[in-house]
Structure 1
Amino acid sequence: MRNIKLLFTLFSVMLLLLAGCNGGVDSEAGTQNKEANDKEGGKPKVAVVLKALNSEYFKLMEAGAKKAFEDLGVDGTILAPSNETEVEKQINMLEDLLNRDLDALVVMPSQSDAAIPVLEKYKAKGIPVLLADSDVNWEGKTTFIGTDNYTAGLEAGKALASQLKKGDKIAVLEGVLGTPTNEERVKGVEDATKEAGLEIAASQAADYDRVKAVSAMENILTANPDIKGIFTANDEMALGALRATTSRNMSIPIVGVDGITEAVESVNADGVYATVAQRPYDMTYKGVENALKVLAGEELEKRIDSGLDVITKENSEEKLSELSELLGK
């Protein structure tokens, strides 16, 4: 009887020990394995937030992000307010995304100073932030992917100078005063035209707006009828400047920046002389691509140049075909 009790006690102790060991596997190691399997088997979550989707330029950025999601196996989200002046709405979108368990963020901030506080929250959560097109003076960014705007202005100035002679006067239509993009492009064109011996007779802001550009250009031409060439900080203003010069039966070279379809069509039809085309499609594609590199542990350069192309009549048809393909037309 005593032996039977002893055997029963030993058997009970063994059962308790086994139960304890199994409980440890289920509650700790088993949970860890499940999380690892979920992470390994699931797609990385990347959000792309743009300034707006109401222009061709932004549509090209959207197309680049969608293609990257498809090619690279990403669970992607694209968000944007109705227009680029809705700064607060974009910030609210960024705030909401903080609750979606993102792996990385690619953002085109509407206003740099306003965006920094919410971007700091992403950094605090360990979510890498990659900036596309519009840079921010913020140490927390993983990288900036976009155009070197000084180079864009420099190339535009060179293209304009190629059609003029030393001593000729030109006009400059600036975008939004005080913004880095505008200042860098204008500095580039100033340096290029100075090197070519051209004189900037007038410079006026038109806020990247076509209608405002018409009015600004008419004022400039009234005061300076001997203007021989025009630089504009974007294509919308270039098309506005063309309307103003055409109404006066003037035929002078105009060079813009962006490379939107309407401007390239104008170049092809001997309207605007040239446009320095950015690559918005590549900005977001590279944004998603580099986000995955960061998640894989790679180090990135703080600036990644997305490149540009100077479009004149000689290569305008090729550019139009490229734009049509990228936009799915």
Structure 2
Amino acid sequence: MNASARSRRATAACAAALALALSGCGAGAGSGDGAVSLGFVNGGDTEFHTCLQASVKDTADARDAKLYTANSHQNPGTELSNIEDMISRDVDALIVQTVNVDALKGDIAKARSANIPIFLTSVVTDDPSDILGAVVVDLAQVGELDAGFVEKDAAGGQVEVGVIAGAPGAASDLLVNGFTKALPDNAKVVANQPGMFNAAKAQDVAENMIQAHPKLRYAFVANEEMAFGALKAFQAAGADVKIVTVNGTDHGLAAVKDGRFAATVANSAMTTGKIAVTNTISLLDKKKTDKIAMTPISLITADNVSSAPQYCSAGAKKS
């Protein structure tokens, strides 16, 4: 596409942005004719999503890329509407943190029909030929790492384990399946309920869980925000339940360090966002780049908490 065409498209895109009233038309300081335009459709409102978007924005700004953002708030229907809105802006590529992997089929079909490639964060489709690329957190392995902690810590003893999942679909299912399948035979899952990635909901789930299973020894919680809600419930009940969780935020690491959480699996949202934008632009430019990249993960306990990667950019603000 030549510079004048890009200029016309950028003007039209900004006009569409005002009409659609999503997040506005944002340009990097050095952007102008020839700047790449990206759409980012975020899936929810957890700290992960907030930090991911902050990293996407920071990296886009650093690359002089125009960025448009929208949030699907865990609703697959809203996600499809956001995809359609981004298509109307005629962006060069879409970066999508999906609400539910089942929603992706329709999203990809819509974008493909408009000749706009999709780059995925956190998950990848069964057939990656339909997408530009992805940066993937091996969520099954994240669950496996937490299960490995339980196996080692239980040391062969018969223990009861509870699971507080997130929202059904996408990340939560992969995390929970990875965790439960990797547990040893001596660790029995006695409860598995969704906390919907909401701390208050997770607290309610944990209250019910500990009442029904007073011998509960471990709880796997699908993110640290929910883990703090579960912690309140367990503490109020006077229950000594070891919490293993996911993310590696500053608050989560502090809880691991002082023993409130037994372990977490660090997977930096900042790193995921940085890879997403960098690889999207490189793949658009036909540069040699891994189509499917991996976000590094690591099990963090009190013994190695100082080695955890930075989770979120310093300027990011939780919405």
Question: Conserved in 1, the CA contact under 8 Å of 2:146 and 2:244?
Answer: yes
Q: Equivalent residue for 1:107?
A: 96
The worse-fitting range, judged by mean Cα deviation, of 205-214 and 37-46 is 37-46
Question: Conserved in 2, the CA contact under 8 Å of 1:132 and 1:287?
Answer: yes
**TM (normalized to structure 2)?**
0.79
Query: CA separation of 1:133/1:36 partners in 2, compared to 1, >3 Å: closer, same or farther?
Result: closer
1:205-242 Cα deviation digits (max 9, x unpaired): 33333233333333332333222222122223322221
C-alpha distance in 1 between matches for 2:38 and 2:237:
51
Q: What residue identity is the alignment partner of 1:270?
A: G
Q: Equivalent residue for 1:179?
A: 169
Q: Equivalent residue for 1:251?
A: 240
C-alpha distance in 2 between matches for 1:167 and 1:200:
14
- Look up the SS of the partner of 2:189 in the other structure: strand
Within 5 Å, which residues of 2 pair with 1:1-329? Answer: 42-52=34-44, 54-81=45-72, 83-85=73-75, 87-137=76-126, 140-176=130-166, 179-194=169-184, 197-298=186-287, 301=290, 303-316=292-305, 319=308, 323=312, 325=314, 327=316
- Look up the SS of the partner of 1:162 in the other structure: helix
Q: What residue identity is the alignment partner of 2:115?
A: G
The two structures, once aligned, show a CA RMSD in angstroms of 3.2
C-alpha distance in 1 between matches for 2:167 and 2:97:
19
**1:129, CA displacement in angstroms?**
0.7
Question: Conserved in 1, the CA contact under 8 Å of 2:2 and 2:34?
Answer: no
Question: Conserved in 2, the CA contact under 8 Å of 1:231 and 1:256?
Answer: yes
**1:130, CA displacement in angstroms?**
0.4
Q: What residue identity is the alignment partner of 1:58?
A: H
**1:42, CA displacement in angstroms?**
1.4
Q: For the pair shown, which has the larger CA radius of gyration, 1 or 2?
A: 1
Question: Conserved in 1, the CA contact under 8 Å of 2:268 and 2:309?
Answer: no
- Look up the SS of the partner of 1:126 in the other structure: coil
Question: Structure 1 regions of 5+ residues with no counterpart?
Answer: 1-30
Task: Give 1 or 2: higher helix fraction.
Answer: 1
**1:322, CA displacement in angstroms?**
5.7
C-alpha distance in 2 between matches for 1:323 and 1:113:
28
C-alpha distance in 2 between matches for 1:32 and 1:326:
35
Q: What residue identity is the alignment partner of 2:42?
A: L
- Look up the SS of the partner of 2:154 in the other structure: coil
**1:320, CA displacement in angstroms?**
8.8
**1:33, CA displacement in angstroms?**
9.2
Aligned-residue sequence identity (percent) comes to: 21
1:52-102 Cα deviation digits (max 9, x unpaired): 4x4321221122112211332322222224x333x4333223212223232
- Look up the SS of the partner of 2:178 in the other structure: helix
Question: Conserved in 1, the CA contact under 8 Å of 2:195 and 2:205?
Answer: yes
Aligned residues: 295
C-alpha distance in 2 between matches for 1:230 and 1:55:
20
C-alpha distance in 2 between matches for 1:33 and 1:324:
33
C-alpha distance in 1 between matches for 2:195 and 2:2:
58
C-alpha distance in 2 between matches for 1:126 and 1:275:
40
Question: Structure 2 regions of 5+ residues with no counterpart?
Answer: 10-31
1:138-182 Cα deviation digits (max 9, x unpaired): 652222212111100001111233322212313232425752433
1:278-299 Cα deviation digits (max 9, x unpaired): 2222222211111112212246
**1:125, CA displacement in angstroms?**
3.1
